[in-house]
Structure 1
Amino acid sequence: MTDNIKPKEATAIVNSLLGGVVPKIGVQHITVGRSPEIEAFINSLEDVKNGHSMVKFWIGDFGSGKSFMMHLLNTVALKQKFVVANADFTPDNRLYSNDGKAVALYSAIMDNIAIQTKPEGGALATLLEKWIEQVVSKTAQEEGIPLTAIRDEQHMPLIQRSIMKTINEITDVGGFDFGVVVMKYYEGYISDNEQLRRSALKWLKGEYRTKTEARQDLGVREIINDLNYYDMLKNFCRLFVSMGYSGFMINLDEAINLYKISTSVMREKNYEKILTIYNDCFQGKVSNFFINFAGTNEVLENERRGLFSYHALKSRLETNKFETLQIRDFSQPVIRLMPLDHNEIFVLLKKLKVIFDLNYKVNLEVSDDEIHQFMEEMFNKPGASEFLTPREVIRDFLNILSIIRQNPGIDKKQLFGEIEIRDERPDESAVDSLVDGIEVL
């Protein structure tokens, strides 16, 4: 069971889950009960590989495993040779704004770009250098120049022309400045000018705040901003595909922070941006692009502030009326994540016990019967049916394993008896009252 788990993955899994967050790596080792969703997702990836684009909304109650699902999708997509990126919506990151919050989301996406050899993110520079090497090799072949000589300074204009020509072929809006910046990155790359490379990366990540500063450093007229960042994402998608990648997948979690936007006009503008992305993907205006959103049922269905408050989205995202709990349709844009059942949680806890032992190089005496006892204590506590989430079950289980590891003679039954159920859900009523009050003002 532990044959394929790397020590680094075991440590990431234990430390992250104890901290109440999803590990960035190794999630495939603790996956249970999501086979139909993953199978449908793999089919969608095949469509995107073939030039289509896709938008999916992963909807579930707080603690139902949405963030876990996002990380699992990453793992699957990386193996299918996709470039992937994750970002969370926050009060300072959103899809539409006029005060820098949209380009902040773009910067978070670019910071977290990952490929199979760099699954934890930070792969943008690696991808740029790989693409530049492809352009250099192709130019050398076309011009009949040996690879050993093509990097000589005398051939730099030749390479720059090739870079610009290729960029112009694959980009749409903003292609010229995009190409100039990539050329500047090449100059820094070939001449070991670290400052020039950093400036080019800064521009590509949307971190310049003024055109004047960008013009001084790179000689470009424009910067990536709230209005054009989406065009740049599409440009990068085309660039990655031209390199031989299957496509570009972006996961956007914590959509509750769009729901919480205090003014209805700004919320509507953000939902309008979601509609634009949705239409672009399903109408074939962009290729090889996959965007996943994760949010709660309230984020989707609330008709005053959720996605359903925007009629054009509601008409696209309403559930297939023939779907039931037993008969699921995973091809529709909205995938509802059902809670794990008790058998699936038992299997998950067994896996976690094995990974915990591997991480600490121990073999704790915790039997299957004792895992069942732990679950019975948790699920029979007052409030469990209303408040208990997989996140809390996992964290409490690992906390108990930590106590047992450090106190071998402790009475396990006593530990199980001390479990308390807490309501970890955000106070939606407080959010409602706050936002309603602001909107009335």
Structure 2
Amino acid sequence: MSLKIKSKEATAIINSLSGGVVPKIGVQHITVGRDLEVEAFTTALEDVKNGHSIVKFWIGDFGSGKSFMLHLLNTVATKQKFVVANADFTPENRLYSNSGKALALYSAIMNNVAIQTKPEGGALPSLLDKWIEQVVAKTAQLHDIPLTEIRHEAHFDLIQKNIMTTVNEVTDTGGFDFGLVIIKYYEGYIKNDELLRRNALKWLKGEYRTKTEARQDLGIREIINDLNYYDMLKNFCKLFVSMGYSGFMINLDEAINLYKISTSTMREKNYEKILTIFNDCFQGKVSNLFINFAGTKEFLENERRGLFSYNALKTRLKTNKFETAQLRDFTQPVLKLMPLNHNEIFVLLKKLKEIFDFNFQTSIDITDADTQAYMEEMFNKPGADEFLTPREVIRDFLNILSLLRQNPDADKSSMISNIEIKDERPEILTLDSIEEL
């Protein structure tokens, strides 16, 4: 097999794409037609490594590969020693809220923190443990105490002091409480008190809903909430950099859910938060932070409900007026994902056939000519130009492979000729007809 792929990656790719979703790992093995975007992104990562911060908006139609692109960016960024995290906007997760929905987004981000050795998320405890070990080693060196003795209870105050000193160096708003919680985490870590360690982690992930509960469990009077979560993300960014990581990259998908917010005031508040993040990053108020938003053209350009309804964002996110389909500007904040052409889709399907065969240790009788016949059947169907997406092409192709694996004598030509396609686009495309609430 020409592809160098791990069994775990192959299984994730086949299972996820068969279900119509993007795999969390292995996306680099099925990447086609995005070389220029990845090259520009890699250049941007270098800028962020050097202390700059960047915001990008990845815009494309439903099923055009936005989510895939974000997962690919994760793979590229973790190899460049970035801490990364993904979260989706939903009706319950948003940037601004006064009812816990912004905190829910923060919690989703922190639960999905990933590094190269833990690409599927859940890496926050590992990062905290690593950082604490660095502080412990630094304390031992500073006070000429052997590493075998530094964890003794007699030296606990020294380590506490160094934790607070280090936290104060890398935090702004909320740094004191942040430091106290990390000390609680260290106490649980060093004394094998799993409950204390878990409660500290719960606080850091924004999972406490009341100050009373946090005070009972940790003796901490404040909690992370809708108003201060962004400051905590910036604190974590500085903490990760202090550990030796290149920066913190946050991917926020399904931004169409901000467009869906029914009340214009609440929608504008969320767009105002995007503006704040944008200004902080491009005005140098924050360092080593890379935030990606993924959404549809409607989310960006609709002047009644989209980002362009907020004039301050519209002026910042206008596409380079000289850009064409042939002349692309990949340095601007907005990157519009062009659909894959037929040749690129053919290459993708060939790769998927290889991965499928590898995953199931088989060799499905699908030739290049069969794949071409499949594509012709799909793209020549009535309505294909209007609403056929790569997602549906991939899923149906994998479904055929699955049937042939389990039924080797089945008529593949009949399967291909009986393909039907349907409009899978969400109803959001007709949202403009809905009256404001």
User: Which TM-score tier does this pair reach, normalised by the shorter chain?
Assistant: over 0.9
Tell me, yes or no, if the aligned pair for 2:85 and 2:249 is still in contact at 8 Å.
yes
Tell me, yes or no, if the aligned pair for 1:2 and 1:355 is still in contact at 8 Å.
no
The residue that corresponds to 2:191 in the other structure is: 191
Q: What is the count of residue pairs matched by the alignment?
A: 437
The residue that corresponds to 1:103 in the other structure is: 103
Instruction: Provide the C-alpha distance between the structure 1 equivalents of 2:94 and 2:85, rounded to a whole number of angstroms.
Output: 15
The residue that corresponds to 1:166 in the other structure is: 166
Instruction: Provide the C-alpha distance between the structure 2 equivalents of 1:186 and 1:219, rounded to a whole number of angstroms.
Output: 15
Give the ranges of 4+ consecutive aligned residues of structure 1 lying more than 4 Å apart after TM superposition.
none
Whether 1:265 and 2:265 are equivalent positions in the alignment is yes
Tell me, yes or no, if the aligned pair for 1:86 and 1:250 is still in contact at 8 Å.
yes
Deviation at 1:419, TM superposition (A): 0.6
Tell me, yes or no, if the aligned pair for 1:252 and 1:291 is still in contact at 8 Å.
yes
The residue that corresponds to 1:406 in the other structure is: 406
Deviation at 1:429, TM superposition (A): 5.0
Aligned partner letter, 1:38: V
Instruction: Provide the C-alpha distance between the structure 2 equivalents of 1:59 and 1:429, rounded to a whole number of angstroms.
Output: 15
Deviation at 1:431, TM superposition (A): 2.9
The residue that corresponds to 1:9 in the other structure is: 9
Tell me, yes or no, if the aligned pair for 2:3 and 2:29 is still in contact at 8 Å.
no
The residue that corresponds to 1:179 in the other structure is: 179
Aligned partner letter, 2:44: S
How far does the alpha carbon of each residue in 1:316-350 deviate from its partner, in whole angstroms, 9 at most, with x for none? 00000010000000000000000000000000000
How far does the alpha carbon of each residue in 1:236-284 deviate from its partner, in whole angstroms, 9 at most, with x for none? 0000000000000000000000000010000000000000000000000
Aligned partner letter, 1:156: F
Residues 403-412 or 242-251, more deviating: 403-412
Aligned 1:2-41 pairs, distance under 5 A: 2-41=2-41
Tell me, yes or no, if the aligned pair for 1:378 and 1:419 is still in contact at 8 Å.
yes
Deviation at 1:3, TM superposition (A): 4.5
How far does the alpha carbon of each residue in 1:16-35 deviate from its partner, in whole angstroms, 9 at most, with x for none? 00000000000000000000
| SS of residue matched to 1:382 | coil
Instruction: Provide the C-alpha distance between the structure 1 equivalents of 2:364 and 2:24, rounded to a whole number of angstroms.
Output: 26
Instruction: Provide the C-alpha distance between the structure 2 equivalents of 1:249 and 1:398, rounded to a whole number of angstroms.
Output: 32
Instruction: Provide the C-alpha distance between the structure 1 equivalents of 2:87 and 2:2, rounded to a whole number of angstroms.
Output: 30
Whether 1:138 and 2:138 are equivalent positions in the alignment is yes
| SS of residue matched to 1:425 | coil
Tell me, yes or no, if the aligned pair for 1:252 and 1:292 is still in contact at 8 Å.
yes
Instruction: Provide the C-alpha distance between the structure 1 equivalents of 2:350 and 2:408, rounded to a whole number of angstroms.
Output: 19
Percent of aligned pairs sharing the same letter: 77
| SS of residue matched to 2:251 | strand
Instruction: Provide the C-alpha distance between the structure 1 equivalents of 2:97 and 2:186, rounded to a whole number of angstroms.
Output: 32
Residues 424-433 or 403-412, more deviating: 424-433
Instruction: Provide the C-alpha distance between the structure 2 equivalents of 1:146 and 1:4, rounded to a whole number of angstroms.
Output: 45
Aligned partner letter, 1:163: I
Tell me, yes or no, if the aligned pair for 2:52 and 2:284 is still in contact at 8 Å.
yes
Aligned 1:422-437 pairs, distance under 5 A: 422-434=422-434, 436=435
The residue that corresponds to 1:250 in the other structure is: 250
Tell me, yes or no, if the aligned pair for 1:87 and 1:253 is still in contact at 8 Å.
yes
Aligned 1:348-363 pairs, distance under 5 A: 348-363=348-363
Deviation at 1:219, TM superposition (A): 1.2
Instruction: Provide the C-alpha distance between the structure 2 equivalents of 1:2 and 1:211, rounded to a whole number of angstroms.
Output: 56
Instruction: Provide the C-alpha distance between the structure 1 equivalents of 2:412 and 2:206, rounded to a whole number of angstroms.
Output: 53
Aligned 1:228-377 pairs, distance under 5 A: 228-377=228-377
Instruction: Provide the C-alpha distance between the structure 2 equivalents of 1:201 and 1:270, rounded to a whole number of angstroms.
Output: 27
Q: 1:368 to 1:288 in 2, by over 3 A?
A: same
Instruction: Provide the C-alpha distance between the structure 1 equivalents of 2:233 and 2:280, rounded to a whole number of angstroms.
Output: 13
Instruction: Provide the C-alpha distance between the structure 2 equivalents of 1:310 and 1:36, rounded to a whole number of angstroms.
Output: 30
Instruction: Provide the C-alpha distance between the structure 2 equivalents of 1:54 and 1:422, rounded to a whole number of angstroms.
Output: 38
Deviation at 1:365, TM superposition (A): 1.4
Deviation at 1:409, TM superposition (A): 1.2
Instruction: Provide the C-alpha distance between the structure 1 equivalents of 2:2 and 2:403, rounded to a whole number of angstroms.
Output: 22
Tell me, yes or no, if the aligned pair for 2:185 and 2:197 is still in contact at 8 Å.
yes
How far does the alpha carbon of each residue in 1:207-252 deviate from its partner, in whole angstroms, 9 at most, with x for none? 1111111111111121000000000000000000000000000000
Instruction: Provide the C-alpha distance between the structure 2 equivalents of 1:66 and 1:5, rounded to a whole number of angstroms.
Output: 23
The residue that corresponds to 1:214 in the other structure is: 214
Tell me, yes or no, if the aligned pair for 2:260 and 2:428 is still in contact at 8 Å.
no
How far does the alpha carbon of each residue in 1:58-106 deviate from its partner, in whole angstroms, 9 at most, with x for none? 0001110000000000000000000000000000000000000000000
| SS of residue matched to 1:207 | coil
Aligned 1:40-79 pairs, distance under 5 A: 40-79=40-79
Q: 1:164 to 1:314 in 2, by over 3 A?
A: same
Instruction: Provide the C-alpha distance between the structure 2 equivalents of 1:376 and 1:407, rounded to a whole number of angstroms.
Output: 24
Instruction: Provide the C-alpha distance between the structure 1 equivalents of 2:396 and 2:3, rounded to a whole number of angstroms.
Output: 26
- TM-score (ref. length: structure 2): 0.99
Unmatched tracts of structure 2, length 5 or more: none
Instruction: Provide the C-alpha distance between the structure 2 equivalents of 1:177 and 1:149, rounded to a whole number of angstroms.
Output: 28
Residues 31-40 or 1-10, more deviating: 1-10
Instruction: Provide the C-alpha distance between the structure 2 equivalents of 1:326 and 1:124, rounded to a whole number of angstroms.
Output: 42
Deviation at 1:372, TM superposition (A): 0.2
Instruction: Provide the C-alpha distance between the structure 2 equivalents of 1:397 and 1:331, rounded to a whole number of angstroms.
Output: 35
Instruction: Provide the C-alpha distance between the structure 2 equivalents of 1:431 and 1:254, rounded to a whole number of angstroms.
Output: 15
Unmatched tracts of structure 1, length 5 or more: none
Tell me, yes or no, if the aligned pair for 1:28 and 1:72 is still in contact at 8 Å.
yes
Superposition RMSD on alpha carbons, in Å? 0.8
Tell me, yes or no, if the aligned pair for 2:378 and 2:419 is still in contact at 8 Å.
yes
Whether 1:84 and 2:119 are equivalent positions in the alignment is no
